[in-house]
Amino acid sequence: MRYGVLILVLTALLVAGGLWIGGKREAVAPAQGIKEERIAMTPEATNVDPVLPKSDAEWKKRLTPEEYRVTREKGTEAPFSGKYYKIDKQGVYRCVCCGAPLFSSETKFDAHCGWPSFWKPLAEGNLKLLTDDSHGMRRIEVQCRRCGAHLGHVFDDGPQPTGQRFCINSASLELDEKKAK
């Protein structure tokens, strides 16, 4: 009886503290300056696919195996291997799944971490930030708000003015060189 009450109390504390996520990822207001703004997709959202796949089979037809693994299965490409890790071309980085504009080349920097890094999204409303407790650590996952594609993670160790480092998989991005921002 005593153990049952203790388990009930501990569970209540975990739920109240936001630590219990019941096997799924919940939207959170991340700590230390990382915030999620709920605003509409930016006007730069041209080249966005009007129709999104509805099944895994449709996504598999549209994406390469690596793009599918990273964006739909929340995978991570090997560090220092992505096509955009060392590229300096100007343009807008879009979601490889739906074309939503995510990052400008003007905010890209070399974080020496092995993945493309940005200190600011093109528009925070185009991203969704979620708690990620996988692999025994707590991180903030970055997803495309429009299609839910896994992009990478955001950390509070980036350069000023934001102090943020959006560490993004190349496999989740497509560079649109036509629109520099």
pLDDT at 35 over 60: no
Nearest partner of 100 among 140, 71, 79, 77, judged by Cα: 71
Find which of 28-32, 87-91, 171-175 is predicted with most confidence, using mean pLDDT.
171-175
Q: What is the mean pLDDT of the chain?
A: 79
Domain residue limits, the chain: 26-176
Lowest mean pLDDT among 48-57, 110-119, 130-139, 160-169: 48-57
Tell me the DSSP string of 133-176: -GGGS-EEEEEETTT--EEEEEES---TTT--EEEE-GGGEEEE
Question: What tokens were used for 168?
Answer: 């993004």
Please give the pLDDT value at position 142.
Answer: 97
CATH number for the domain formed by residue range(s) 26-176: 2.170.150.20
Share of the chain above pLDDT 90, in %: 64
pLDDT digits (tens, 9 = 90+) for 91-133: 999 999 999 999 999 999 999 999 999 999 998 899 999 999 9
Strand-pair category, 165-168 with 117-118:
antiparallel
Angle made by CA atoms 153, 156, 158, in degrees to the nearest 5: 95
Mean pLDDT to the nearest integer, 58-66: 95
Give the active site residues.
Answer: 167
Please give the pLDDT value at position 90.
Answer: 93
